[in-house]
Amino acid sequence: MTSGLTAKIYFGGYTQKVSETKQQGPASMLQAAGAAGAGPRDPLCIRFINTLDWRNDAERRVEQLTAYSELVKWSRNQHLLSAEQAKALLALAGKQQRQAEQALGRALSFREALYWLFSAVAARRAPSREDLQMLSEMHAEAAPHLRLRLENETGYGWEWASGDENLDRMLWPVARSAAELLTAGPLDRLRECERGGCGWLFVDTTRNRSRRWCAMKICGNRSKVERYYRRHRRED
């Protein structure tokens, strides 16, 4: 990753701290969220951010991306890598273990920068220049790997270069997704789950823009139960 960029970095009207992240435990909330229907329609960058469960609760925090192999597995599940590409990256990571660990570290640092950036946007605050700069750098790294392709007789689209054996390649579409969300929106529908400690982000697609939780079956129901018990304790 390039470094040493200074001055103001402008990206879609925002100017923007790379935050460190902890790695703990096995998967839990992510699987439950999938079963509850949370997240599949959110932009790729938001799904990437949400690979850390209970981000704002140190006692319950669970890291989904505990190893480079888990990052590859997540990328396969998100259709960012073909089976052949995933196999090639895992083989490369086996030969270059130190580089693979560094790639995982970059992925986690990038994820945290994206969280702080979009958490600020969701709260209607200006993101930090450092977070926006990291996205700018990652997007600049990704751009040379994009290729135009003919999709049909009249249409064209983008695809990622298939022959690049780069341990960071799954971050390219994430960076592109984040840049598109930041510049094209819908930022006015971006939300952070209201349940204390959760920290998941989502795009509110409800007609009246009333969604408050990442998923009703995960945080919504629990929040209602907690409010019920608090109310009845006060009455007692």
Tell whether 133 is covered by a domain: yes
Tell whether 77 is covered by a domain: yes
Task: Write down the pLDDT at residue 96.
Answer: 97
What pLDDT, in 10s, does the model give residues 172-205? 999 999 999 999 999 999 999 988 889 999 999 9
Mean pLDDT of the 37-53 span: 85
Residue 95 has pLDDT above 80, yes or no: yes
**Kind of pairing, strands 201-203 and 190-192?**
antiparallel
Residue 64 has pLDDT above 90, yes or no: yes
Q: How far is CA 74 from CA 78, 140, 229, in A?
A: 6, 23, 37
pLDDT, the chain, mean: 81
Task: Write down the pLDDT at residue 234.
Answer: 53
Task: Write down the pLDDT at residue 113.
Answer: 98
Mean pLDDT of the 151-171 span: 87
**Domain enclosing residue 75, as ranges:** 29-137+167-235
Tell whether 23 is covered by a domain: no
Tell whether 91 is covered by a domain: yes
DSSP string of 80-106, one letter each residue:
SS-HHHHHHHHHHHHH-HHHHHHHHHH
What pLDDT, in 10s, does the model give residues 108-156? 999 999 999 999 999 999 999 999 999 999 999 999 999 998 888 778 9
Mean pLDDT of the 91-105 span: 98
Question: Could you tell me the CATH number of the domain that includes residue 57?
Answer: 1.10.3300
Residue pair 104/68 in contact by the 8 Å Cβ criterion: yes
Residue pair 13/105 in contact by the 8 Å Cβ criterion: no
Tell whether 211 is covered by a domain: yes
Q: Which residue has the higher pLDDT, 151 or 49?
A: 49
Tell whether 73 is covered by a domain: yes
Tell whether 22 is covered by a domain: no
What are the E-state strand segments in the chain?
52-53, 62-63, 146-150, 156-160, 190-192, 201-203
Q: What is this structure's pTM?
A: 0.79
Domain count, the chain: 1
Tell whether 5 is covered by a domain: no
Task: Write down the pLDDT at residue 216.
Answer: 58
Confidence of residue 9 (pLDDT cuts 50, 70, 90): very low
Confidence of residue 236 (pLDDT cuts 50, 70, 90): low
Through-space distance between the first and last CA atoms of the chain, rounded to whole angstroms = 58
What pLDDT, in 10s, does the model give residues 12-41? 443 333 333 444 433 445 544 543 334 568
